[in-house]
């Protein structure tokens, strides 16, 4: 199954540093901070949703998003922090994620020049969860594949409890010898022609690595991705 051709993507926005502050527990329309925050964090850069966003994300409230797709198991753990409240954990936020399958294809799309394989009637590798008291959501998925023009990535859209958008961003993967990306090796198609983060038109300006997750594990037991996102 061939990889999708490269999508047209918008340039990444700049990163914003939040100054240290102290905040008490409060409900402010963006979720509820569950602890006093006192510190600084880098607000996640705003990135494009890309050409393949979930059509109706509220229909896919589920933690296991594999939906029959095969690949190396990936547990995704994302913590949402409130930059307006001293970077404290943000409880009650809605977090949507979506990504391509092992072959580089997205569900809900296809049959076009952008993605020839037609998956318009299925919804794999898409899901929504609500952050717990620690600001955490956990998804069970598979390690994403890759397609021409993009580094391996996961899309994230964060909303407050009322459904107001707080942040659209993307998560990158560590690269190089000994990484999960190298172990997966493009699920058999290798990494020849792969677009690395430094050349990716979304991640190339992330010189500090703020968009790169921590990924541990192996192809036998599966992988665990952890990422903190400040909104």
Six-digit token pair at 186? 């493009």
pLDDT of residue 38: 53
- Cβ(54)–Cβ(119) under 8 Å? no
CA 84 to chain centre: 22
Tokens of 111: 């049959």
Residues of the chain with pLDDT under 70: 1-38
The Cα–Cα gap between 207 and 209 comes to 6
Q: Residue 102 and residue 123: Cα distance in Å, rounded?
A: 15
Q: Structure pTM?
A: 0.85
DSSP string, 160-173: -TTS-EEEEEEEE-
Q: Which domains does the chain have, with CATH numbers?
A: 16-230 (2.60.130.10)
Pairing verdict, β 165-172 and 32-33: unpaired
Q: What pLDDT is stored for residue 203 in this prediction?
A: 98
pLDDT of 40 reads: 79
Q: Quote the pLDDT of residue 26.
A: 32
Distance CA 156, CA 136 (A): 13
């Amino acid at each position: 199954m061939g990889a999708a051709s490269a999508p047209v993507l918008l340039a990444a926005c700049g990163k914003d540093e939040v100054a240290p502050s102290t905040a008490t527990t409060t409900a402010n329309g963006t979720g509820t901070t569950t602890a006093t925050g006192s510190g600084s964090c880098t607000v996640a850069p705003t990135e494009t949703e890309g050409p393949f966003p979930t059509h109706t994300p509220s229909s896919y409230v589920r933690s296991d998003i594999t939906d029959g797709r095969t690949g190396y198991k990936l547990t995704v753990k994302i913590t949402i922090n409130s930059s307006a409240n001293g970077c404290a954990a943000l409880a009650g936020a809605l977090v949507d994620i979506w990504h391509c399958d092992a072959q580089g294809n997205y569900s809900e799309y296809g049959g076009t020049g952008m993605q020839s394989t037609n998956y318009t009637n299925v919804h794999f590798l898409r899901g929504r969860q609500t952050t717990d008291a620690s600001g955490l959501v956990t998804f069970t998925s598979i390690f994403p594949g890759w397609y021409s023009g993009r580094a391996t990535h996961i899309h994230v859209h964060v909303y407050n409890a009322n459904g107001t958008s707080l942040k659209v961003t993307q998560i990158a993967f560590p690269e190089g010898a000994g990484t999960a990306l190298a172990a997966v090796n493009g699920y058999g198609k290798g990494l020849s022609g792969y677009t690395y983060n430094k050349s990716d038109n979304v991640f190339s300006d992330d010189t500090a690595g703020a968009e790169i997750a921590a990924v541990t594990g192996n192809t036998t037991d599966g992988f665990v991705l952890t990422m903190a996102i400040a909104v």
